[in-house]
Structure 1
Amino acid sequence: MRSTIMFFRKYPPEYTVIAVFIAIGLVLQLTALSNSGFFSDEFLHIEAGRHPAWGYSDFPPMIAAFAWIQNLFNTDSVFINHLFNLAASAMAVLFCGLTTIKLGGKWLAVLATLLCILLSPGIAGTRFLFLPTAFDQLFWIICIYCSASYCQSQNARYLIWFCIFGALGFLTKYSIVFLFAGMLTSSLIFRRDIFLKKSLWIGLLIFLVLITPNLCWQIKNLFPAITHFSQLYDSQLNRLSMGGELKKLFLFSNPFTMIFWLPGLFAIPFISKFKRYKLISFALCCSFVFLFCAKGKWYYFFPVVIGAIPLGTVFFERLLQKRKWIIYAYLTVLGLTGVYLLPQGIPIIKLQRFIELYHKKPNKDGKIPLAFDNYYSTEIWTRILNVVNKTYIELSSEEQEKCFILGRHYSMAGAMNLLGKKYGLPQAFSLHSSFEWMPEFDKGAVIIAIGESNWLEQHWGEYFKYVEEIGIVENKYASKESEYNYRIFLCKGLKYNSVEFKRFIEN
């Protein structure tokens, strides 16, 4: 008891709040992991860790480096395969709190900031999944912390740290260039003296050195990232309604957090008391506008929102210094709505309880659509694996030696490789997205093919002389018709060798 009292006396309350929220955040994440399987996109990044490279067509190399380390444990454990998420989430909470303090916030501002971060279903959900977005948010807030530290102290070493963490962010998700563009615009308007700092140019040199291997990979492979962005824009982003995306942003960031991050973006740059931090606030404002003009999806804006929240909470803490009861009341409402909304982002309650609590009803096709498949994926993949394994063990030993598993979608191949180890299944491959890998085989190969509802027997008949549908696995939680069922086929008598087969599949 005495040691606890001494702790609270020794450390300011702001740091106690941060420590408590880190603990709460970890408990929430661990609870969610116990109720969760794998999200479909996670399989691609876990598989990338088995094929280390300086770049991939759909994403930078950092996520694969994290996966490579997790893969050293050689397990399909959901917990192990999210170790870096746990670390990144704790560090994000830490730097959100430290940024608030650096901006002049006291314990109440820190409390408000971390409530907003922790009880936003969208932010919590994107940090929970093993995707680049989780680590992208971390590097954004670290860069903003470095900027706040520089604005406060004028210590030029923070410019170097900004460049270092900016490079790590670039190697995690290329969208951090919107932060760079915002900072450049803000610096040209308000702080042109920064460009005369020797430390900035040292930092930029380090930045260039760190990203050079990825740039060389891009050049060698004719800039697949640009091709990917172009295809993404033409197929998805160009069709987005930005009004609809902003509506999703307001909803999934918890509508009650808006009172903090909107002023942080669009009011703080013009308030004289925050003149010292105008560089940061205007940079975030510009980043938001640039993302909007580029037609970014709603969750692309979360790093900007996370950076703007500390500015807003510090502003209101000062504004309502003599009326703190207003902040207490508002944070109570924010907390209650956050607790209600949070299970929509991460599975902190059991699946059936979630369906009952949020009144999820079957649609006209008898499905109960759920947005994230990690809630139910373990059940689905277990059933698919049972069908595949039964088929595989019924093959002759000669056929087993030349058997491969083909996943129409990268998640199918990734799931077979990760979860199929304990069954002793052969290697799976896919030509979808960044997975794009196929082993060499001849016309004697036996293929167990997995596809969605719309991949019927006649499709595989184009490539094989003998095709048998060996199983249909229903997905009663599918949100798309194409995912209502998974069809599994045994294919023999390949009409082409692997090189020709790959060319036909790609076309």
Structure 2
Amino acid sequence: MGALPRFAALPIGIVVAGQAVVLTALSGRYGFHRDELYFVAAGRRPDWGYVDNPPITPWLARASTAVFGETPVGLRVVATLLGMATVVVVALIAREFGGGRGVQLFTAIATALSTYVLVVSHMLATNSADVLLWSVLALFALRLLRTGDGRWWLAIGAAAGLGLANKWLVLLLLSGLGVGVAVTGPRRVLRTRWLAAGVGIALVLAAPVVLWQASHGWPMLTVAGGISEDDGAGNRLLFVPMQLVLLSPVLVPVWIAGLVRPWREPGLRWARPLAVAYPVVCAELLVVGGKPYYSVPLLLPLVALGAEPALRWLGRGGTARRVLTGAAAAVCVAVSVLIGLPVVPAAALNGPLLAMNKEPGEQVGWPDFAGSVAGVWQRIPDTERDTAVILAGNYGEAGALERYGPELGLPQPYSPHMSYADWGPPPDRLVGPVLLVGRVRPDSPAARLITRCRLVAKHHNAAGVDNDEEGVPLSLCEPARPWSEAWPRLRRYY
């Protein structure tokens, strides 16, 4: 088997250095995302699991803020590093297919500028680590398939175990690759004792997370079931269109070339499991109603696989082809940057930008929100404030009040949403007014447990961004039951 081309360390280093500069320069704009506030709060309460995700992302949030400060810039250092590492790993995947300097550089640039990678590299999310772990797992699996060296099962097991400690979606990738190997080969990689050793490593690394979920009644499955029930139809309807735009429309021909290439080039027959894995993962997500972006990390190795034929096609064309392709690429890059990074003033987000990606809107106005809550809190009489409770409607609101509330004189907030429910309930001695953030549906259990609500104010962010907290009602209510009795009935998983 021939030697692989040299890794294009210098040009790819320049790409990731530019990526780091841009992401760092923009990381302080807008503010924390609601999920980031939740991860920061979860990181203050380290555990082997949480209701809606395994522990790695909250642990990363804890580490990043401890070293660099509890600010959006400090938190997002780790997201930037994960994005940089993803670019390097995908370039290494291109090298695995025999791609030389130009192919590796093209792959690195395409990865760094794709919409999905921009989004998850700008803000810390479970997907920030997930896209890297999928890419690492794909690299190790491809190395196993190419070389036939069973010892790569050890690395695959370690990557799979870490993936399971971050997000269980990695099971989709493993199942897709497994089906691919079973259908197309090379099946000899399954006939080795190293496979059992790799599985053992994965089980050891994932065991604490799985045991935590089992001991808490598998809450992540409850959350996933709720997502499928509430959003499954919409996810299925949008699934195919979103596959075409989540990376970038200009990259669609590239990853399609990646799907086709192993069937046309006998020397890449060993890579066919990757081409099979993508449709298998898509089919699984369509069945369960999973979100369209769940399969996007698998498109990056396909871009690496399709980069060489795409560049050959471009090189065979005349000037007109290259100019048109360059213009299309420039437009798509501009759109990706507008969608994925905070490059416009917050007040300009309303409209098409939020319609294409709502996440920037969820980074705007959290200090304003805490100020609105503080204004209502001050309306509670001094004699009642010591026994009053702030009850936030969701984990983002609770996280914002936990982060910004102390400087405004607010006490610890409570919320029955996701893992915040595990961090409650309020002590039963708190029998005073309830400052309720959000609405109580008349047919919900909360309507019988939080009563006599009167609307006091509505929150509006200074930028006028139409996000989930814009216009949220702030009410003063009364508890109808002791908190220890009411809390299990208030709990919400989604």
TM-score normalized by the length of structure 2: 0.87
Do structure 1's residue 478 and structure 2's residue 473 form an aligned pair? no
Partners of 2:209 and 2:215 lie apart in 1 by 10
Determine the structure 1 residue equivalent to 2:226. 231
Do structure 1's residue 372 and structure 2's residue 358 form an aligned pair? yes
Residue correspondence of structure 1 range 21-420 to structure 2 within 5 A: 21-72=15-66, 75-189=69-183, 190-237=185-232, 239-240=233-234, 242-317=236-311, 329=323, 332-351=326-345, 354-355=348-349, 360=351, 371-372=357-358, 374-375=360-361, 377-378=363-364, 380-392=365-377, 399-420=384-405
Q: Would you say the 8 A contact 2:385–2:432 is kept in 1? A: no
Partners of 2:199 and 2:318 lie apart in 1 by 43
Partners of 1:464 and 1:221 lie apart in 2 by 26
Do structure 1's residue 435 and structure 2's residue 414 form an aligned pair? no
Partners of 2:153 and 2:103 lie apart in 1 by 26
Secondary structure in 2 aligned to 1:490?
strand
Identical-pair percentage: 18
Partners of 2:315 and 2:334 lie apart in 1 by 29
Partners of 1:270 and 1:291 lie apart in 2 by 28
Secondary structure in 1 aligned to 2:269?
helix
Q: Aligned to 1:450, which of 425, 437, 454? A: 437
| 1:3-52 CA-partner distances (Å, limit 9, x unpaired) | xxxxxxxx968222211111122122223313231222322222221222
Q: Aligned to 1:495, which of 460, 480, 484? A: 480
Report the AA paired with residue 489 of structure 1: S
Secondary structure in 1 aligned to 2:431?
coil
Report the AA paired with residue 60 of structure 1: P
Q: Would you say the 8 A contact 2:94–2:103 is kept in 1? A: yes
Q: Which runs of 5+ in 2 are unaligned?
A: none
Q: Would you say the 8 A contact 1:408–1:431 is kept in 2? A: yes
Secondary structure in 2 aligned to 1:99?
helix
Determine the structure 2 residue equivalent to 1:3. none
| 1:98-133 CA-partner distances (Å, limit 9, x unpaired) | 111122111221232223222222332133332211
Report the AA paired with residue 390 of structure 2: I
Secondary structure in 2 aligned to 1:489?
strand
Determine the structure 1 residue equivalent to 2:9. 15
Partners of 2:99 and 2:438 lie apart in 1 by 53
Partners of 2:238 and 2:361 lie apart in 1 by 25
Report the AA paired with residue 408 of structure 1: G
User: Which deviates the most, 190-199 or 271-280?
Assistant: 271-280
Secondary structure in 2 aligned to 1:244?
helix
Q: Would you say the 8 A contact 1:387–1:470 is kept in 2? A: no
Partners of 1:256 and 1:82 lie apart in 2 by 28
CA, structure 1 residues 389+479, in 2 after alignment: closer, same or farther (shift >3 Å)?
closer
1:466 deviation in Å? 6.2
Q: Would you say the 8 A contact 1:266–1:285 is kept in 2? A: no
Q: Which runs of 5+ in 1 are unaligned?
A: 1-10, 363-367
Q: Would you say the 8 A contact 2:246–2:296 is kept in 1? A: no
1:212 deviation in Å? 0.9
Q: Would you say the 8 A contact 2:389–2:432 is kept in 1? A: yes
Partners of 1:18 and 1:107 lie apart in 2 by 9
Aligned residues: 482
